[in-house]
A and B are shown apart, each in its own frame.
Chain A
Amino acid sequence: MKNILKINNLSKNFGNVSAVNNVNLEVEVGSIHSVIGPNGAGKSTFFNMISGVLPPSSGKVYYKNNDITGFESYKLPHMGIAKCFQITNVFPKLSVRENVWSSVFSCAQKSKFDFLKPLSNFKYVAEETEKIISDVGLSHKINDKAEELSHGQQRMLEMAITLGAKPELLLLDEPTQGLAPEATLEMTKLIQKLSKKYTILLIEHKMHIVMEISKVITVLNFGEVIDEGTPSEVKESKKVQDAYLGRG
């Protein structure tokens, strides 16, 4: 078993409140590893610490055995870690093409001053952009502004932007949040398809999605890991059932 991401005793305190407490976690290369938990379990705080938005109070995050604890979030895509947001987070007034182009360009830059060269120098970026957009099924909307897309399409665009960075590890924060049932199904399929190419750390609170696609599930409650295992193991766990029913 080879780890791509290793988290050691990660904690975050806001004043006296401990949002995440001593979490240990290892993500195996090529797997879908899910972190679940009821509302307020500390999932988002945990996600934000890994993705460089919040500095942890203590503990370490290792990516491919490199210490990346507290790295600014703009550095992570260049190392191969991309994240997808819980809320739709695109560039509304820019076209679908520009949205994805920017992301591909960011990690494809070859020199420090690439951003001053004419756009026509970056044919390979344009080709990659079109490929990704067709992968998520938005080719017919490529010149439309992001704000003109439907909610489901915006979620797909969000995913396309994330993939533009050519990541090895994908951090997904509740990708099915607020989606209609059909769109949720579509997103689940997409995640499954993506898992063939990328390692995925998925933060979710919808149990059924997680059960279907994950290899390993870590369950958080009150900021602590209460259980970890395969979907069937977690399903049987008494502690997890209690947490979800509010008896924890």
Chain B
Amino acid sequence: MNKYTIICLIIFILLGPFLLPNATITEMLIFGIVAISTNIMLGYTGMLSFGQALFFGTSAYISGLILLAGFPIFLAIPIATLGSFLISLFVGYFCVKREGLYFICLTFAFNQMFYFIAYVWTEVTGGEDGLVGITRPEFIDTQFSFYVFISILFLTSLYLMYKIITSPLGLIFKLIRENPSRAEAIGYNVRFFKLVSFSIASTFTGLAGSLYVLIHSMVPIDQIHWLKSGDIIFMTLFGGVGNFLGPLIGVVGYIWLSDTFSIIWARWPLIMGVIFAIIVLYFRGGVSELLENLVKKSQSYFKKNKDEKYIKN
């Protein structure tokens, strides 16, 4: 991250609440955590999981239930996050035994299992109606204080994840993406580090899930459905996997576009599908790579102009 991206990020967080409805901008920050953490697994380690909604949803349920039981939020968030960490170790242990398509299928299968548990276990999860009646604690009751609260957690998560990917661990993830058998041959336990990557992504996704319940004061069951996993992958790819903050652009774009289109036309997913197809076909690095290339081009353009002037003088 150079200083320009950090400035852009700060401007986005400061101006966001004035440009967008409060629920929208907080949702963007929450899914920002999800997409950036998913990218650690997808972009850095090269593992495509189709089961991230499992952790998002389960954590949302845990956090919601703890709040409903009357416990404070400072208990709900850590317990829910810890819960998704433990589940990710369990699920991940089995999933990383396989690679490629089989890995995807396993994550998908686990996602479906947890979905149906939530669906059937109506006394606890509210089944199809979702978990309702959760109240926000007083200190984050106003829109402003809630936004500040979410922003702080968002920036803290970002900082932690940035530390992770710039540590040797981040490099090990890239080794696994580039050439797993060679990584193994120079002494890295590939399966273990895949599990680490999977757990990091899932734990941060869980943290985001535990915050999500606070926006609408409920947990709709579609937050644990595999379609949500698809959305997460979509947002990450849309923003671009080649860049640490790229997925955030994807989240902002995706949520803004779906909010805008859904008012105009009920069949808006069709438009999103077209956009997604174009991105995957022509801009493999997503929006962030597109922007990077534009910046590079304009830089070389200005530099050229400068040089020409210099020659003329």
- Tell me the A residues contacting B by CB distance below 8 Å: 51, 72-78, 82-83, 85, 89-94, 98, 101-103, 105-107, 114-119, 122, 161-162, 164-165
Cβ of A98 and Cβ of B179 under 8 Å apart? Answer: no
Nearest opposing residue in chain A for B178, CB measure: A91
Indicate the member of B171, B172, B182, B185 with the most A CB atoms within 10 Å. B185
Given contacts A91-B175, A92-B178, contact A73 B185 (CB under 8 A): yes
Cβ of B179 and Cβ of A91 under 8 Å apart? Answer: yes
* Number of residues from B at the complex interface, CB < 8 A: 22
For residue B184, give the distance in angstroms from its CB to the closest CB of chain A: 5
Cβ of B184 and Cβ of A74 under 8 Å apart? Answer: yes
Chain A residues closer than 8 Å to B174, beta-carbon distance: 91, 93-94, 98
> Is B181 located at the chain interface by the 8 A CB criterion?
yes
| Complex partner residue of A90 from B163, B168, B182, B187, CB under 8 angstroms | B182
Cβ of A118 and Cβ of B178 under 8 Å apart? Answer: no
For residue B14, give the distance in angstroms from its CB to the closest CB of chain A: 29
The B interface, classified by DSSP as helix, strand, loop or mixed, is helix
Indicate the member of A75, A82, A101, A105 with the most B CB atoms within 10 Å. A105
Cβ of A74 and Cβ of B172 under 8 Å apart? Answer: no
> Is B261 located at the chain interface by the 8 A CB criterion?
no
Chain B residues closer than 8 Å to A74, beta-carbon distance: 184-185, 187-190
The A interface, classified by DSSP as helix, strand, loop or mixed, is helix
Cβ of B168 and Cβ of A114 under 8 Å apart? Answer: yes
Instruction: Compute how far the CA of A94 lies from the CA of B185 in the bound complex, rounded to whole angstroms.
Output: 17
Indicate the member of A78, A93, A106 with the most B CB atoms within 10 Å. A106
Give 22 CB contacts A-B under 8 Å: A51-B185, A72-B184, A73-B185, A74-B184, A74-B189, A82-B185, A82-B186, A85-B182, A91-B178, A92-B179, A94-B175, A102-B188, A103-B187, A105-B171, A115-B169, A115-B172, A116-B164, A116-B168, A118-B166, A162-B186, A165-B186, A165-B187
| Complex partner residue of B186 from A93, A103, A116, A122, CB under 8 angstroms | A103
Cβ of B167 and Cβ of A78 under 8 Å apart? Answer: no
For residue B244, give the distance in angstroms from its CB to the closest CB of chain A: 15
Nearest opposing residue in chain B for A89, CB measure: B182
Chain A residues closer than 8 Å to B187, beta-carbon distance: 74-78, 103, 106-107, 165
Cβ of A77 and Cβ of B167 under 8 Å apart? Answer: no
Instruction: Compute how far the CA of A103 lies from the CA of B172 in the bound complex, rounded to whole angstroms.
Output: 10
Instruction: Compute how far the CA of A154 lies from the CA of B182 in the bound complex, rounded to whole angstroms.
Output: 14
Cβ of A164 and Cβ of B168 under 8 Å apart? Answer: no
Given contacts A89-B179, A92-B178, A92-B179, contact A102 B186 (CB under 8 A): yes
| Complex partner residue of B188 from A82, A106, A117, A162, CB under 8 angstroms | A106
Nearest opposing residue in chain A for B179, CB measure: A91
Chain A residues closer than 8 Å to B169, beta-carbon distance: 115-116
For residue B242, give the distance in angstroms from its CB to the closest CB of chain A: 10
Instruction: Compute how far the CA of A92 lies from the CA of B183 in the bound complex, rounded to whole angstroms.
Output: 12
Instruction: Compute how far the CA of A117 lies from the CA of B172 in the bound complex, rounded to whole angstroms.
Output: 13
For residue A71, give the distance in angstroms from its CB to the closest CB of chain B: 12
B:174-228 near A, CB below 8 Å: 174-175, 178-179, 181-190
- Tell me the B residues contacting A by CB distance below 8 Å: 163-164, 166-169, 171-172, 174-175, 178-179, 181-190
Cβ of A106 and Cβ of B167 under 8 Å apart? Answer: no
Given contacts A91-B182, A102-B183, A117-B168, 15 further A-B contacts (CB under 8 A): A73-B184, A77-B186, A77-B187, A85-B182, A85-B185, A90-B179, A91-B183, A93-B174, A94-B175, A98-B174, A102-B186, A105-B168, A107-B187, A115-B169, A116-B168
Cβ of A119 and Cβ of B186 under 8 Å apart? Answer: no
Nearest opposing residue in chain B for A107, CB measure: B187
Chain A residues closer than 8 Å to B184, beta-carbon distance: 72-74
Cβ of A98 and Cβ of B171 under 8 Å apart? Answer: yes
Instruction: Compute how far the CA of A161 lies from the CA of B174 in the bound complex, rounded to whole angstroms.
Output: 16
Chain B residues closer than 8 Å to A103, beta-carbon distance: 186-187
Instruction: Compute how far the CA of A90 lies from the CA of B186 in the bound complex, rounded to whole angstroms.
Output: 11
Chain A residues closer than 8 Å to B167, beta-carbon distance: 115-119
Chain B residues closer than 8 Å to A122, beta-carbon distance: 168
Indicate the member of A51, A101, A114, A116 with the most B CB atoms within 10 Å. A116
Chain B residues closer than 8 Å to A92, beta-carbon distance: 178-179
Closest 8 CB pairs of A and B: A77-B187, A106-B187, A91-B178, A103-B186, A115-B168, A115-B169, A74-B184, A74-B189
Chain B residues closer than 8 Å to A75, beta-carbon distance: 187
Instruction: Compute how far the CA of A92 lies from the CA of B164 in the bound complex, rounded to whole angstroms.
Output: 22
Chain A residues closer than 8 Å to B163, beta-carbon distance: 118
Nearest opposing residue in chain A for B169, CB measure: A115
Cβ of B178 and Cβ of A94 under 8 Å apart? Answer: yes
Chain B residues closer than 8 Å to A72, beta-carbon distance: 184, 189
